[in-house]
Amino acid sequence: DKYTRPAVKTEIPGPKSKELAARTDSIQNTGALSFFCDFEQSKGNYLVDADENVLLDCFQQISSLPLGYNNQELLDLCKNDHFQATLLNRPALGTFPGLGFPQLVEDSLLRVPPPGLNQVITMACGSCSNENAYKAIFMWYMKKKRGQEMPVLDDLAYETCMKNQVPGSPKLSILSFDGAFHGRTLGTLSTTHSKPIHKLDIPAFDWPIAPFPRLKYPLEVHESENAAEEARCLEIVEDLINEWNTKAPVAGIVIEPIQAEGGDNHASCEFFRKLRDIALKYDIAFQVDEVQTGMAITGKWWAHEHWGLETPPDIVSFAKKMFVGGFYFSDAIRWNMGYRIYNTWMGEPSKLHFLKKTIEIVNSQNLVNQAQLTGDYLMKGLKELESAYPALLNSSRGQGLFCATSISGDGARDKVSKDLLNQGVLVGSCGNESIRFRPSLLFSPAHVDIVLDKLNVALNNV
Ligand SMILES: Cc1ncc(COP(=O)(O)O)c(CNc2csc(C(=O)O)c2)c1O
Annotated catalytic residue, options 51, 57, 264, 289: 289
SS3 (DSSP) at 42? coil
Ranges of each domain in the chain:
83-363, 366-437+452-462
Q: Give the Å distance between the CA of 165 and the centre of ligand 1.
A: 30
Which residue has the least CA distance to atom 3 on ligand 1?
182
Atom of ligand 1 nearest to the CA of 188: 4
Q: Please write the tens of the pLDDT for every residue from 391-446.
A: 999 999 999 999 999 999 999 999 999 999 999 999 999 989 999 999 999 999 99
Q: Give the pLDDT confidence score for residue 367 in this predicted structure.
A: 98
> Strand 434-437 vs strand 119-123: parallel, antiparallel, or unpaired?
unpaired
Q: Please write the tens of the pLDDT for every residue from 207-219.
A: 999 999 999 999 9
Q: Give the pLDDT confidence score for residue 69 in this predicted structure.
A: 98
DSSP per-residue codes, 46-113 = EEEBTT--EEEESSHHHHT-SS-B--HHHHHHHT-HHHHHHHHS---TTTS--TTHHHHHHHTGGGSP
Q: Give the pLDDT confidence score for residue 347 in this predicted structure.
A: 97
Mean pLDDT of the region 81-92? 92
**Bridge partners, residue 332, by sequence:** none
Contacts of 132 (CB under 8 A, 6+ apart): 121, 123, 327, 341
Q: Give the Å distance between the CA of 57 and the centre of ligand 1.
A: 19
Which of 174, 185, 265, 320 is the pocket-test mutation for ligand 1 (most atoms within 8 Å of CB)? Answer: 320
Which of 291, 321, 429, 430 is the pocket-test mutation for ligand 1 (most atoms within 8 Å of CB)? Answer: 291
Q: Which residues line ligand 1 (CB under 6 A)?
A: 62, 125-127, 130, 181-184, 256, 260-261, 289, 291-292, 319
Q: Give the pLDDT confidence score for residue 361 in this predicted structure.
A: 98
Q: Give the Å distance between the CA of 127 and the centre of ligand 1.
A: 7
Mean pLDDT of the region 452-462? 97
Q: Clarify whether 185 is annotated catalytic.
A: no
DSSP 8-state code for residue 11: -
Q: Clarify whether 289 is annotated catalytic.
A: yes
Mean pLDDT of the region 198-206? 98
Q: Give the Å distance between the CA of 181 and the centre of ligand 1.
A: 7
User: Could you give the angle at which helices 445-461 and 367-388 cross, rounded to 10 degrees?
Assistant: 20
Q: Which residue type does 410 have?
A: D
Q: Give the pLDDT confidence score for residue 1 in this predicted structure.
A: 84
Mean pLDDT of the region 35-60? 98
Mean pLDDT of the region 155-176? 95
Q: Give the pLDDT confidence score for residue 82 in this predicted structure.
A: 84
Q: Give the Å distance between the CA of 184 and the centre of ligand 1.
A: 8
pLDDT at 150 over 90: no
DSSP 8-state code for residue 245: H
Q: Give the pLDDT confidence score for residue 148 in this predicted structure.
A: 79
Are 130 and 254 in contact by the 8 Å Cβ rule? The answer is yes
Q: How far from 149 is each of 140, 171, 257, 447, CA to CA, in Å? A: 10, 21, 32, 54
Could you tell me the pLDDT band of residue 56, with boundaries at 50, 70 and 90? Answer: very high
Q: Give the pLDDT confidence score for residue 81 in this predicted structure.
A: 85
Q: Give the pLDDT confidence score for residue 429 in this predicted structure.
A: 96
- May I ask the CATH class of domain 366-437+452-462? alpha beta
Contacts of 61 (CB under 8 A, 6+ apart): none
Backbone φ and ψ for 318, nearest 5 degrees, come out as -145, 165
pLDDT at 158 over 80: yes
pLDDT at 296 over 80: yes
Q: Clarify whether 38 is annotated catalytic.
A: no
Which residue has the least CA distance to atom 8 on ligand 1?
126
Could you tell me the pLDDT band of residue 179, with boundaries at 50, 70 and 90? Answer: very high
Could you tell me the pLDDT band of residue 153, with boundaries at 50, 70 and 90? Answer: confident
Instruction: Give the whole-number percent of the chain exceeding pLDDT 70.
Output: 100
Mean pLDDT of the region 85-97? 96
Q: Which of 296, 453, 294 is closest to 369 using CA atoms? A: 296
- May I ask the CATH class of domain 83-363? alpha beta
How high is the mean pLDDT of the chain? 97
Mean pLDDT of the region 216-240? 97
pTM over 0.95: yes
Are 77 and 83 in contact by the 8 Å Cβ rule? The answer is yes
Query: What's the alpha-carbon Rg for the chain, to the nearest Å?
Result: 23
Could you tell me the pLDDT band of residue 342, with boundaries at 50, 70 and 90? Answer: very high
How far is residue 235's CA from residue 228's CA, in Å, rounded to a whole number? 11
Q: Give the pLDDT confidence score for residue 399 in this predicted structure.
A: 98
Atom of ligand 1 nearest to the CA of 32: 21
Could you tell me the pLDDT band of residue 390, with boundaries at 50, 70 and 90? Answer: very high
Mean pLDDT of the region 69-76? 97
Annotated catalytic residue, options 59, 138, 181, 437: 181
